[in-house]
Structure 1
Amino acid sequence: MIFGYVRVSSKEQNEERQIKALKDYCKELNYKNIYIDKESGKDFNRENYQLLKSLLRLGDVLIVKELDRLGRNKQMIKEELDYFKENKIRVKILNIPTTLIDLPEENEWIFEMINNILIEVLAAIAEEERNKIRTRQAEGILLAKQEGKYKGRPLAPLPEGFEKLYRQWKEEKITAIQFTKLLNLKSRTTLYKYIRRYENR
């Protein structure tokens, strides 16, 4: 059977461009066999990807528009491709033309070698791009903080009764363990986070 996989990074992004590319390449690809995820490519813990992976069998073909639609982490991509190879599942990546060529078995090793090099390079580029985005985001946040423009995510309110119990703790009327239990917190680590937040207001 022939399957397609599509991924966009958020619910707001449109997946139709990828679907069209898969359908244009393979007219036999049925819409019901195209699996779509709308979430980050940082790992492979995606609902529809995992469902698709459970359905793929020996001899099946998986088509993806671009390598980074499969994932962005180089090592994880390599592990996934190794899994497909071991299970005799053909992966075709539209932006890696050598993955699309069908050859006699005795010659496949040549293109497999080329594919491995290309995949290694493209995966490294995708991972580097992701790191650059993170760096730019961090630099942007730092600059916004310096200019007093960065608000960040609104913090969750302090637990009910925190201020009263905080005063009792500061006056050594209760211990940190008691403080934690009275707030129904899971750990003292969480308690100290709240304390730091309260003291740094």
Structure 2
Amino acid sequence: MKQYAYIRVSTKEQNIDRQILALKPYQISKKNIYCDYQSGKDFERPAYQKLMKKLKKGDLLIIKSIDRLGRNYNDILVQWQYITKELKADILVLDMELLDTRKKTGNLTGTLIADLVLQIFAYVAQTEREFICQRQSEGIAAAKQNGKKFGRPEKEMPDQFKEVCRRCELGELSTRQAAELLGVSHTTFYRRYRKIIGETVSNSRHFGTSE
């Protein structure tokens, strides 16, 4: 039997020391510790996929908490079944004593309790992720209502931008010639040119005289 550990944090800026410290009593070889710096939204993670190829029957996989395995409720259950039923390896979740498949009772009741505990914690992990996404969406919507703008600010155009746009509209310059004259990319100029033309048309309609 070999012991493996899986560690996950969402970004490289996050610290893995807490997870490493929790694994210390098990004296797992460094080559058997797999770490992903990636979101837990799915299982398409390079280190995790390498680990799955290494796990064999009777091996033990140790993780700090169920949300380190993943964040998606259904995917966690599928992976748990794959590891324990198909690969026939064991899993130990350090933060939840009941999630230790080494403790085999040999009866249906014990198996049922373990499955129920897993489903509850997998559900909590996904619900927490959904709450975070919901709070982010609500925060962005509220900020937009208050006039806050997101994304990169628009590039400041040279002083002669409007005059160059006027010459484009009169057919004196092509949009590519105009972009070169202003020293900006054609894409940037064309987008801003279309915007200012659109505003001009809108204003002329708004202030136009009726018959």
**What TM-score do the two structures reach when normalised by structure 1?**
0.72
- Give runs of aligned pairs for residues 1-201 of structure 1, distance below 5 A: 1-24=2-25, 26-27=26-27, 29-85=28-84, 86-100=86-100, 102-103=102-103, 106-107=106-107, 109-152=108-151
CA distance in 2, matches of 1:7, 1:82: 20
- Matched to 1:131, the amino acid is E
CA distance in 1, matches of 2:104, 2:66: 24
Residues 67 and 129 of structure 1: is their aligned pair in 2 closer, same or farther, counting only changes over 3 Å? same
- Decide whether the 8 Å contact of 1:96 with 1:118 is kept in 2: no
Cα RMSD for the two superposed structures: 2.7
- Decide whether the 8 Å contact of 2:7 with 2:16 is kept in 1: yes
Q: Deviations over 1:76-102 (max 9, x none)?
A: 011101101222110111122023374
Unmatched tracts of structure 2, length 5 or more: 155-167, 169-189, 200-211
- Decide whether the 8 Å contact of 2:60 with 2:90 is kept in 1: yes
Deviation at residue 106 of structure 1 after TM alignment: 2.6
- Decide whether the 8 Å contact of 2:104 with 2:110 is kept in 1: no
Unmatched tracts of structure 1, length 5 or more: 156-166, 168-193
Q: Deviations over 1:154-186 (max 9, x none)?
A: 68xxxxxxxxxxx9xxxxxxxxxxxxxxxxxxx
Say which SS state the counterpart of residue 98 (structure 1) adopts: coil
Identity %: 42
Residues 139 and 104 of structure 1: is their aligned pair in 2 closer, same or farther, counting only changes over 3 Å? closer
CA distance in 1, matches of 2:104, 2:72: 31
Structure whose alpha-carbon radius of gyration is higher: 2
Residues 104 and 90 of structure 1: is their aligned pair in 2 closer, same or farther, counting only changes over 3 Å? closer
- Give the aligned length: 162
